[in-house]
Amino acid sequence: MLERARTITLCMIVKNEELQLPRCLDSVQGIVREIVVVDTGSTDETAAIARRYGAKVIEAPWKGDFAAARNEGVREARGDWILFLDADEALDAEKGPRLLELVQHDEYEGFFLQIHNYVGDGSQGATINPVLRLFRRRPEHLFEGRIHEQIAAAILRRQPGAAFHLTDVPIHHYGYRQEWVVAKDKIRRNAELLEEALRDEPNNAFYWYNIGVEYLRMNRAGDALDSFRRAKGLMDSDALSYAHLLCKYEVRCLQAMGRWEQALERLGEAERQFPEYTDLLQYRAACELALGRREDARRSLAKAMNLGPPPALYHTEEGIGTYRTAYALGLLNEEEGEIEEALNWYVEAIRGKPSLTPPLYRSFLLMRLSGRERRIGDWIRSRLREQSPDAFLKLLGILLRCRCGLAVLELLKRPEGRRLPRSLRLETETEARLQLGELTGAMRLLKPHGTEGRPELLEQLEWLERVEATGSGRKMEAGRSGGWRSPLVRYLAGSGMEDIGEAPWRQLQRLLEAAWASGRRAAFAALLERWDALLQHGLPVKGASRGKASEGTEALVRSLSSIADRHLAVLRKGAASKEGAALLPMERKLLSIRLKLPAEDGFR
């Protein structure tokens, strides 16, 4: 008999998820044969959207029981396997299709997938957690538990010998992103449900564990710690899949309470129990750092690097044992004045995750501050991968934001630089020259290309020169036939509160720092005053938001810091900057002050 291809049904429960649902359903196209959506009372477009994707929609009033709602969907499913997702999750586009091969295996009852939880706005990496999300449809396989409904335990109870397989297929979970968590008040809802469930089943370890997680998110570290300890006391076996996670959470509670020594003690026990669990070493390093034991922290992180990421069964945070650990090691070495060592770790971090920019920012900053700016070009060539034109351009952008104008000019002379489109080349070179204080040179660059180049920028620089010459930034229109065209210049020239453009901050930063670097003191003072007025009296920008003003404040803070930095740069003593030799105390102090100043860091 010819084997029929096994099919997958996606089961979901939803309520008012019109924003997120499409992303989720898009991600399973071509993978699931059937979609069953249990709607527990949406008042928005959720049901309609689901139907558009061909889903079978079941209207079921919410009874305060997640397992019951899930099971309603499961009962409607007709596929051989059931995949369940939440609306704020999506199957990984690259590895998702592997599920189709996996379900052809007969020896397994279920598959673990890897959930990547994104924290904050997502730029700070993800935590990764293996969970059972795909299981064979059998009438007896039903969910249990009002909240944090579980399927694995239920399957095992019915079928103690059931085999599960661990896959590396990711599910991306966006639900813990800060703003959504707050918007949906999900934490409090979860905690309330769990508290209710615990009244019914006070000895359910899994509930205690989950309520601990919610407490921790609510910054109630003490309650969380108690809950985790209850859970541990109730656990029947250390082999339970979340036993290691319980340790980690306990440590996190202790850290949140500032009980570093106790956290270290707990970590010691946990490391003996779970020697492969890299996360513990990263947490250890954090404790050691907090206690000022920098050498120990360095050792712990190095050990974490050697260990690499933990085996797939462990809940981990993306980058532990790889790029995140390497980045932390870079920072630590940087603070100790071990510059070459720090640079090596940053390279390691970049190799671990090439899309991650903070280590690049840090490397360039460190090289500039330690007198290695002229070597940046060679460093890029020898330490980073072959650069595509796009990536090269991105590097130049980062260099400019790190105020490495000198390195940019040098890179532009290289073949990759010469291959850049003329207008981009021009723009980049102009910015670099402005950073170096070559105002006249920059204007010369812009002039012959008036129209194809940056007429706005040229005009801004002309304004700068005019102010410097006349000593006043106001009422300049008369001096120029037709007045100023650039909205920003019109504002600076004092012509009132019209639209000065969408993103004036970068332009203002460039102008202010160029004025300072080229010694145009009067223009500098005028700009500072206008910028300050802009922040003080609100934005004349149409539809201006508080967010924009706060960005403007931050930009000014960073420009002022960068000028302080330029003064500190002059204080370096030439004689002492021999490479390889240990830094003398003053050099070291200067470097550490300058490294700590506010600067662009690539985190936004």
Partner 1 sequence: MALVVVVRERGGAMGGRLGVHLIVRNEENRLPRCLDSVQGLADEIIVVDTGSTDRTVELARSRGAVVKAAPWTDSFADARNAGLPLASTEWILVLDADESVEGGADLLAEALDRADPQTNAFRVKMTHRIGDRAEDAVVSEAVRLFRAGRGFRYEGRIHEQLLVPGPDGSWECPAGENSPLRLIHTGYLPGELSRKETAQRNRRLLMLELGEKPGDPFLLYNLGVSYCQSGELAEAERAFVEALSKAPEKAPYRATLVRDTVKLWLAGSERNGERGTERRGRNGKGEAEWQRRNSGSGGQRRMYPDKAPDKVSDLERERARELARERAMGLLQAELPRYSDYAELHHLLGECLEEEGLLGEAFDSFAKACECGGGETGDYVAELGAGRFVSRASQARMALRLGAPQLAEELYRAALAECPSYRPAVSGWAEALSAIGVPDRDLRELLLARIGSEGSAADRLLVARALVRCGADEEAIGLLRELGAEELPASLIRAGRYREAMERLREQENAGGHLPALVQADAAIACWAEGVAPSEELLRGLPRDMRDDAAALTAALLGANPENSDLRGPGGLLDLRDLRDRALPARIMERMLELRLPRLAEKLAERIPNGEQTLAASLYRHGYALRAADRFIRLMSAGQLDEEGCFQLAEILCERGHYASAAALFERAAEKKGAWREARWGAAFCYLQLARQTAAEGAERFPEAEGLRSDLVKIDQAIGELNRIEWRTSRLPAARRNSHA
Answer yes or no whether residue 556 interacts with partner 1 by CB under 8 A. Answer: yes
**In this chain, which of 294, 499, 592, 602 binds partner 1, going by CB under 8 A?**
592
CA separation for the pair 417, 424 (Å, rounded): 10
The structure tokens listed for 56 are 């079978």
Q: How far is the CB of 174 from partner 1 (least distance, A)?
A: 20
Other C-beta atoms closer than 10 Å to the C-beta of 422 total: 10
Answer yes or no whether residue 203 interacts with partner 1 by CB under 8 A. Answer: no
Residue 570 near residue 521 (C-beta atoms within 8 A): no
Pick the closer one to partner 1 by CB: 100 or 560.
560
The structure tokens listed for 303 are 């050990």
The length of the chain in residues reads: 604
Pick the closer one to partner 1 by CB: 52 or 573.
573
Largest CA distance in the chain: 94
Answer yes or no whether residue 564 interacts with partner 1 by CB under 8 A. Answer: yes
Answer yes or no whether residue 581 interacts with partner 1 by CB under 8 A. Answer: yes
Answer yes or no whether residue 506 interacts with partner 1 by CB under 8 A. Answer: no
Pick the closer one to partner 1 by CB: 427 or 600.
600
Residue 191 sits at the vertex; the CA angle it makes with 185 and 194, to the nearest 5 degrees, is: 140
The structure tokens listed for 552 are 């403007």
Answer yes or no whether residue 470 interacts with partner 1 by CB under 8 A. Answer: no
351: left (phi over 0), alpha (psi -120 to 50) or beta: alpha
Q: How far is CA 590 from CA 294, 332, 577, in A?
A: 20, 17, 12
**In this chain, which of 341, 576, 577, 602 binds partner 1, going by CB under 8 A?**
576
Answer yes or no whether residue 313 interacts with partner 1 by CB under 8 A. Answer: no
Pick the closer one to partner 1 by CB: 30 or 585.
585
Pick the closer one to partner 1 by CB: 495 or 592.
592
Size of the site for partner 1 (CB under 8 A): 37
Residue 50 near residue 25 (C-beta atoms within 8 A): yes
**In this chain, which of 558, 577, 580, 591 binds partner 1, going by CB under 8 A?**
558
**Stretch (H or E) spanning 90:** strand 89-91
Answer yes or no whether residue 546 interacts with partner 1 by CB under 8 A. Answer: yes
**In this chain, which of 568, 577, 580, 602 binds partner 1, going by CB under 8 A?**
568
Answer yes or no whether residue 549 interacts with partner 1 by CB under 8 A. Answer: yes
Answer yes or no whether residue 560 interacts with partner 1 by CB under 8 A. Answer: yes
Answer yes or no whether residue 199 interacts with partner 1 by CB under 8 A. Answer: no
Answer yes or no whether residue 544 interacts with partner 1 by CB under 8 A. Answer: no
The structure tokens listed for 12 are 């979901």
CA separation for the pair 405, 432 (Å, rounded): 4
Taking CB under 8 A as the binding criterion, the range among 88-96, 180-188, 277-285, 591-599 that sits at the site for partner 1 is 591-599
Pick the closer one to partner 1 by CB: 418 or 604.
604
**DSSP conformational letter for 404:** -
Pick the closer one to partner 1 by CB: 540 or 598.
598
Q: How far is the CB of 549 from partner 1 (least distance, A)?
A: 7
Pick the closer one to partner 1 by CB: 230 or 362.
362
Other C-beta atoms closer than 10 Å to the C-beta of 406 total: 17
Residue 368 near residue 401 (C-beta atoms within 8 A): no
Answer yes or no whether residue 561 interacts with partner 1 by CB under 8 A. Answer: yes
Residue 427 near residue 453 (C-beta atoms within 8 A): yes
Q: How far is the CB of 586 from partner 1 (least distance, A)?
A: 5
**In this chain, which of 153, 563, 577, 602 binds partner 1, going by CB under 8 A?**
563
CA separation for the pair 594, 374 (Å, rounded): 18
If we measure between CA atoms, which residue out of 288, 294, 251, 287 comes closest to residue 269?
Answer: 251
Contact set for partner 1, span 224-253 (CB under 8 A): none
Answer yes or no whether residue 295 interacts with partner 1 by CB under 8 A. Answer: no
Taking CB under 8 A as the binding criterion, the range among 249-257, 347-355, 418-426, 577-585 that sits at the site for partner 1 is 577-585
Pick the closer one to partner 1 by CB: 199 or 604.
604
Q: How far is the CB of 573 from partner 1 (least distance, A)?
A: 8
If we measure between CA atoms, which residue out of 584, 526, 589, 527 comes closest to residue 552?
Answer: 527
461 half-sphere exposure, CB direction, 13 A CA radius: 24
Strand segments (E) across 192-285? none
Pick the closer one to partner 1 by CB: 151 or 398.
398
**In this chain, which of 137, 553, 577, 602 binds partner 1, going by CB under 8 A?**
553
Q: Residue 57's beta-bridge partner residues?
A: 37
CA separation for the pair 367, 36 (Å, rounded): 56
**In this chain, which of 184, 421, 521, 533 binds partner 1, going by CB under 8 A?**
521
Residue 99 near residue 83 (C-beta atoms within 8 A): yes
Answer yes or no whether residue 181 interacts with partner 1 by CB under 8 A. Answer: no
Answer yes or no whether residue 182 interacts with partner 1 by CB under 8 A. Answer: no
Answer yes or no whether residue 528 interacts with partner 1 by CB under 8 A. Answer: yes
Q: How far is the CB of 213 from partner 1 (least distance, A)?
A: 23
Q: How far is the CB of 525 from partner 1 (least distance, A)?
A: 7
Burial profile 20-58: b = 16 or more Cβ within 10 angstroms, e = fewer: bbbebbebbeebbbbbbbbbbebeeebbebbeebebbbb
Q: What is the DSSP string of 294-361?
A: HHHHHHHHHHHHHH-SPPTTS-EETTTTTHHHHHHHHHHHHHTT-HHHHHHHHHHHHHH-TT--HHHH
The SS3 assignment for 176 reads coil
**Stretch (H or E) spanning 231:** helix 221-234
Q: How far is the CB of 515 from partner 1 (least distance, A)?
A: 13
Residue 278 near residue 312 (C-beta atoms within 8 A): no
Answer yes or no whether residue 495 interacts with partner 1 by CB under 8 A. Answer: no
Interface residues with partner 1 (CB under 8 A) are: 521, 525, 528, 532, 535, 546, 549-550, 553-554, 556-558, 560-561, 563-565, 567-568, 570-571, 573, 575-576, 581-582, 584-586, 589, 592-593, 596-598, 604
